[in-house]
Amino acid sequence: MSATIHPLPRRAEPSLQPLMALVADGMNSVNAVILDRMQSRIPLIPALAGHLIAGGGKRMRPMLTLASAALVGYGGSRHYKLAAAVEFIHTATLLHDDVVDGSDMRRGKQTANIIYGNPATVLVGDFLFSRSFELMVEDGSIKVLRILSNAAAVITEGEVDQLVAQRQIETSEERYLSIINGKTAALFAAACRIAAVVAERSEADEAALDSYGRNLGIAFQLADDAIDYDSDAAEMGKTAGDDFREGKMTLPVILAYARGSDDEREFWRQAIAGDRNGDADLAHAIGLIRRHDAVQATRERARHYATRAIDAIAAFPSGTAKAAMIEAAEFAVARRF
Amino acid sequence: MSATIHPLPRRAEPSLQPLMALVADGMNSVNAVILDRMQSRIPLIPALAGHLIAGGGKRMRPMLTLASAALVGYGGSRHYKLAAAVEFIHTATLLHDDVVDGSDMRRGKQTANIIYGNPATVLVGDFLFSRSFELMVEDGSIKVLRILSNAAAVITEGEVDQLVAQRQIETSEERYLSIINGKTAALFAAACRIAAVVAERSEADEAALDSYGRNLGIAFQLADDAIDYDSDAAEMGKTAGDDFREGKMTLPVILAYARGSDDEREFWRQAIAGDRNGDADLAHAIGLIRRHDAVQATRERARHYATRAIDAIAAFPSGTAKAAMIEAAEFAVARRF
């Protein structure tokens, strides 16, 4: 038997691997809490919740809590329950989002609302939301409760604002940023900040981790919204063109509309109003977005926020935690799924 | 001008008047918190929430928090915010219930989901739920947070269980009691218990108020479910026969089915399955329920729980608070709306 050395291929793209490796052990503890606390005497609850929870999400938010805890050198175990609470809040909002949007696919699978119906999906979302507060209460930190209850309120405000802006062609980039700051970035920020709280670090460290999470969340959402006009459903595990058909005013559309000719702007008005949303219209929309480099511009915006996220943690000591968090921010922009 | 003395008519029926008089001043403070904290930078949120909140509900739960505080001689003001938090939890569940049930009328008005749509109604429910936790966090008592977060989880379990039992003719009285204990009585119990917590009374006093609220909640729900087969929409301010058309297994149906002949049981099987739910079927159902005194029996069950509620506070000193809470329990059974 001869030993053959296979050199590892050089990684061309930033990846989530370093982050996942950093928190792998801790995530076992978080996942144990998640599985334990989604149980109920009503079997439908773990069945429905488990469909989404076991459905292959990245669990970015709890990973960020654990990575932030590692960054500040936290040696305790309180963050496992709190990371699970964060994931429950996120899962509850996904369940309700799918009802609100009438979605039928998420992460390449049928959504819970299609399988179990809207009523059960709404109620199990409520259950997970309640459970997340029970987990926080068990931890007992009023400061953590304040941060996460505020994040939860801000998330719903962002989602309502998104609903109001739907099919409104005149939505500005500012308003879009305000919406994604609420619906996505607030929970990323809270997930990171609470690690500094349990580690009893300074307000400045709390604010730095909040800023990392917030900017990373914005970068992730911008990249998500770029992907919806950049790849097909098979690649991204959700239905491509969903945003277009739902008349959601995401940045690629906002930029293509702003940069477009009068004729193009008339098309966008009709499309976002819901009058032109067939497959041919989607293809035309993607063509217009390409013509004006709107996906590319959206990714550049994402890069800006990812850079801000990285700079927010610049003062923390170097090490595997910081390196993993930096690469996660680079991944947020570079990913294509 | 001659003075004429009009003797007050003797009150024939128990009423909520003594309870409302007891807490009138305090409810002004609670209502101020409710109005202040349902605000948002997104105008749709107070518009939608206000439609239900201003829509003529009795505000039983916050009134019970205030009455319980009076019963234990609490002289502070912490209970105003907490009573508002309880009402927000309740309002959130009503908004979600109306989406889950597809209701179109509540308290004699169109429901929010009909006016504003299901998506906004789900999200504003989430917002109020988050706001309720923010209010509790501001109060800062982990014990109160534990009681109310647990109640919130139990409510959703009760609602999911009710959904699972829907159109299931073989639902037992035990299961029905378990469902209403979750969906209704848990929050009544918590609303009363937290008054003992802020007043720093003994565990025994907490348990007594919990028991008062829980039994009162069961009595209220039993009476509600009796009313749905006992009066018309004009009287009750909601659509009569809703429970029947939705195939909800409430106690009047459970008893009429249990006491019915083979033919009657076959009718109930078809009706609850949704195969016979027209106006003539509803009239037939009401006839069967009358034949077996099932509304009367449901009211007698309600009286049993109301009596238990009254006995739970027997050891507290007599006074206007106790008298008002006793009459509220009598009202719960006697009311026809």
Contact: A100, B93; criterion CB under 8 Å: no
pLDDT for A15 beyond 70: yes
Q: Give residue B65's Cα distance to chain centre.
A: 14
β-pair partners for B105: B110
Contact: A133, B134; criterion CB under 8 Å: no
DSSP A278: S
Contact: B126, A129; criterion CB under 8 Å: yes
In this structure, are residues A188 and A61 in contact, taking their beta carbons and an 8 Å threshold?
A: yes
> Does residue A243 sit within a domain?
yes
Q: Which residues of B touch A164 (CB under 8 A)?
A: 42, 44
User: What is the gyration radius of the CA atoms in chain A, in angstroms?
Assistant: 20
Query: What's the whole-model pTM score?
Result: 0.92
In this structure, are residues A65 and A82 in contact, taking their beta carbons and an 8 Å threshold?
A: yes
Instruction: Tell me the pLDDT band of A292, cut-offs 50, 70 and 90.
Output: very high
Helices (H) and strands (E) in chain A, counts: 17, 2
pLDDT for A214 beyond 80: yes
Q: Please tell me the predicted confidence (pLDDT) of residue B105.
A: 85
State which of A224-238, B235-249, B279-293 shows the largest mean pLDDT.
B279-293
Rounded to 5 degrees, φ, ψ at A285 are -60, -45
CA distance linking residue A287 with residue A247, whole number of Å: 17
Query: How many residue pairs bridge chain A and chain B with CB atoms within 8 Å of each other?
Result: 134
DSSP B76: S
Looking at the complex, does the CB of residue A164 fall below 8 Å from at least one CB of chain B? yes
Q: How distant, in Å, are the alpha carbons of A11, A94, A107, A154, A279 from that of A239? A: 29, 15, 9, 27, 12
Which residues touch B94 (CB under 8 Å, ≥6 apart)? B52, B106
In this structure, are residues A315 and A208 in contact, taking their beta carbons and an 8 Å threshold?
A: yes
Contact: B163, A122; criterion CB under 8 Å: no
Contact: A119, B101; criterion CB under 8 Å: yes
Closest CA to B38 of B2, B99, B87: B87
pLDDT for B47 beyond 50: yes
Q: How far apart are the first and last CA of chain A?
A: 41
Is the confidence metric ipTM above 0.85 for this complex?
Answer: yes
In this structure, are residues B309 and B211 in contact, taking their beta carbons and an 8 Å threshold?
A: yes
> Does residue B108 sit within a domain?
yes
CA distance linking residue A75 with residue A198, whole number of Å: 10
Residue A106's domain spans which residues?
A: 17-334
Instruction: Decide the pairing of beta strands A105-106 and A109-110.
Output: antiparallel
Stretch A189-209: mean pLDDT: 98
Stretch A203-210: mean pLDDT: 98
Q: Which residues of A touch B93 (CB under 8 A)?
A: 126
Name the percent of chain B in helix, strand, coil, to the closest 5: 75, 0, 25
Centre a 10 Å sphere on the Cβ of residue B311 and count the other Cβ atoms it contains. Answer: 14
What percentage of residues in chain A have a pLDDT greater than 90?
87
Closest residue to A159, CB basis, from B100, B123, B161: B123
Average of per-residue pLDDT values in chain A: 93
Closest residue to A133, CB basis, from B126, B149, B164: B149
Stretch B174-185: mean pLDDT: 98
> Does residue B9 sit within a domain?
no
Stretch B212-226: mean pLDDT: 97
> Does residue B10 sit within a domain?
no
> Does residue B234 sit within a domain?
yes
CATH code for the domain in which residue B21 is found: 1.10.600.10
> Does residue B62 sit within a domain?
yes
Closest CA to A184 of A157, A165, A166, A147: A157
Q: Is the dihedral of CA A187, A107, A322, A320 positive or negative?
A: positive
A59: left (phi over 0), alpha (psi -120 to 50) or beta: left
Looking at the complex, does the CB of residue B127 fall below 8 Å from at least one CB of chain A? yes
CA distance linking residue A223 with residue B195, whole number of Å: 49
Q: Please tell me the predicted confidence (pLDDT) of residue A5.
A: 60
Task: Express each pLDDT in B297-331 by its tens digit.
Answer: 999 999 999 999 999 999 999 999 999 999 999 99
> Does residue B240 sit within a domain?
yes
pLDDT for B293 beyond 70: yes
Give SS3 for B105. strand
pLDDT for A171 beyond 70: yes
Burial class (CB in 10 A: 0-12, 13-18, 19+), A296: middle
Q: How far apart are the first and last CA of chain B?
A: 41
Q: Please tell me the predicted confidence (pLDDT) of residue B234.
A: 42
Biggest CA–CA distance in chain B, Å, is 71
Closest residue to B133, CB basis, from A93, A133, A159: A133
pLDDT for B224 beyond 70: yes
Task: Express each pLDDT in A111-125 by its tens digit.
Answer: 999 999 999 999 999
> Does residue B174 sit within a domain?
yes
Residue appearing with tokens 């439908």: A44
Q: Please tell me the predicted confidence (pLDDT) of residue B252.
A: 97
In this structure, are residues B218 and B180 in contact, taking their beta carbons and an 8 Å threshold?
A: yes
Q: How distant, in Å, are the alpha carbons of B1, B8, B9, B11, B12 from that of B5? A: 13, 9, 12, 18, 21
Number of domains in chain B: 1
Q: Which residues of B touch A167 (CB under 8 A)?
A: none
In this structure, are residues A272 and A285 in contact, taking their beta carbons and an 8 Å threshold?
A: no
- Residue from A113, A130, A138 to probe the interface with B (highest B Cβ count within 10 Å): A130
